[in-house]
Structure 1
Amino acid sequence: MQKIQVLIADDDSLIREGLKIILDMDERFHVVDTVDNGLKAIESCKNKPIDVALLDMRMPVMNGVEAIKYISNSSKVKILVLTTFDEDDYIKEALKYGAKGYILKNNTPDAIKNAIISVYHGSNVIEDVIMEKLKQGFVDTDDNKIDINKFTKREIEVIKYISKGLSNKEISEKLFLSEGTVKNYITNILNKTELKHRTQIAIYYINGKIE
């Protein structure tokens, strides 16, 4: 079984080393690197074979948001925010710039592992308390709504499944399509909306901004 290659970026050495021990004890994971700031996280993602990057938000030298921007635009690394901070600005910026998940550090080790696996397989993972904030509409509230009539019936189905957190594989099984076809639909949706990634599609739909 191929192990998920993980980067841990956190300025708290206890968190870094504790997570490394927990993940490396599980045969499904291999911690490739641990770093203490966003700039080092970027360098690691550029130079090492990383599948999922666990990023804290508040770090010295470069914070998590700035690191997310660069990593999302320059690599295929999937980003899972693991932090103690659930402030609106952090959530908004992290998801806007490409984070595939946002969870808090008070989760159990099993919950964190499951989140890594879900993000690795293409699903969005949003903590319940974070999802409630999204539903309250604080994210992208100033943006214009998107006319649902610009989408085909199949694209609307894909949007609904994305908003439920399904991966491309799960959507393909639901709609009896290949994963490649689902990816093409998502690309078309992103092009029509000028959004950057599937998490934004979910946020727009949850907030009633696609109608």
Structure 2
Amino acid sequence: MSVRVVVADDQELVRAGFSMILDAQPDIDVVAEAGNGAEALEAVREHRPDLLLLDIRMPVMDGIEAAGLVCAQSDCRVLMLTTFDGDDYVYDALRAGASGFLLKDVRRDDLVHAVRVVAAGESLLAPSITTKLIAEFTSRGAARPAAPPSDRLGGLTTREEETLGLLARGLSNAEIAQAMVVSEHTVKTHVSNVLTKLGLRDRVQAVIAAYESGLIVPGQ
């Protein structure tokens, strides 16, 4: 079954270029294009795609507002695009529910890979975006709250909390398994339990929850 995609960017050439690359893939179907956030939201409502490729800076309704509404109103996953790796809106876009973040100069193969990964339920961040996200937590003064993190993390078990902490530090399932001396299958179960108990969409949201709860402190 093909991954149904809506491409939203206010620059027609950029939008057409991304659409052409994705539509050329046998397992990806671009069902609509949009020139602003409002059009993107309407396209999602009409076509019910699996993924929205969404520019963060657009007229009428920006990408952050559109992402928040799409994530709140549908199961469509959102992959954000930006021109700058220092974009100040990275944190806000991820808080709105975006599952991935890419720079617009992404290579063709990396774009296709990102769409497949995010549509499959995973999350994806360019390394420079991850660095920016951590820096944003630091600049906003994120610090350990008065209440213990365990009181703010939805009743996670000790092992689930440990898994969340390692996940937030950027470790893969294989690396988490090695650190905890368990199988990758066990790690996948822990990650699934964390997302379910905290009501999170994916690993990106889990990373944010780990920092906001104080389980992980920037610079730690």
TM-score by length of 1: 0.81
> Does the CA-based 8 Å contact 2:165-2:210 persist in structure 1?
yes
Q: How does 1:67-78 map to 2 (within 5 A)?
A: 67-78=66-77
Q: Secondary structure at the match of 1:86?
A: coil
Q: Which amino acid aligns with 1:75?
A: S
Instruction: Name the counterpart of 2:31.
Output: 32
Q: Which amino acid aligns with 2:126?
A: E
CA-CA distance at 1:59 after TM superposition: 1.1
CA-CA distance at 1:166 after TM superposition: 5.8
Alignment CA distance shift 1:27-1:60 (3 Å): same
Q: Secondary structure at the match of 1:136?
A: helix
Instruction: Name the counterpart of 1:21.
Output: 20
Out of 182, 185, 189, the residue aligned to residue 175 of structure 1 is 185
Q: Which amino acid aligns with 1:121?
A: A
Q: Secondary structure at the match of 2:40?
A: helix
> Does the CA-based 8 Å contact 2:86-2:132 persist in structure 1?
no
Q: Secondary structure at the match of 1:95?
A: helix
CA distance in 2, matches of 1:52, 1:141: 30
Instruction: Name the counterpart of 2:164.
Output: 159
Q: Secondary structure at the match of 2:52?
A: strand
Q: Secondary structure at the match of 1:138?
A: helix
Instruction: Name the counterpart of 1:106.
Output: 105
CA-CA distance at 1:203 after TM superposition: 3.2
CA distance in 2, matches of 1:156, 1:175: 17
> Does the CA-based 8 Å contact 2:67-2:93 persist in structure 1?
yes
CA distance in 2, matches of 1:142, 1:37: 33
Instruction: Name the counterpart of 2:180.
Output: none
Q: Which amino acid aligns with 2:194?
A: Y
User: Which runs of no fewer than 5 residues in structure 2 stay unpaired?
Assistant: 178-182
User: Which runs of no fewer than 5 residues in structure 1 stay unpaired?
Assistant: none
> Does the CA-based 8 Å contact 1:124-1:166 persist in structure 2?
no
The number of aligned residues is: 202
Q: Secondary structure at the match of 2:89?
A: helix
Q: Which amino acid aligns with 1:98?
A: G
Out of 196, 201, 206, the residue aligned to residue 201 of structure 1 is 206
Q: Which amino acid aligns with 2:21?
A: I
> Does the CA-based 8 Å contact 2:122-2:202 persist in structure 1?
no
CA distance in 2, matches of 1:141, 1:45: 33
CA-CA distance at 1:97 after TM superposition: 0.6
- Establish whether residue 149 from structure 1 lines up as the match of residue 150 from structure 2: yes
> Does the CA-based 8 Å contact 2:163-2:187 persist in structure 1?
no
Q: Which amino acid aligns with 2:99?
A: K
| Divergent runs of 4+, >6 A | none
CA distance in 1, matches of 2:136, 2:60: 31
Instruction: Name the counterpart of 1:187.
Output: 196
CA distance in 1, matches of 2:206, 2:187: 20
TM-score by length of 2: 0.78
Q: RMSD value over aligned CA atoms?
A: 3.0
Alignment CA distance shift 1:139-1:199 (3 Å): farther
CA distance in 1, matches of 2:27, 2:96: 28
CA distance in 2, matches of 1:4, 1:127: 21
Q: After alignment, is 66-75 or 138-147 more displaced?
A: 138-147
Q: Which amino acid aligns with 1:114?
A: H
CA distance in 2, matches of 1:35, 1:145: 41
- CA deviation profile, 1:169-208 (whole Å, cap 9, x unmatched): xx9x7234887x85443121x26xxx78642321354689
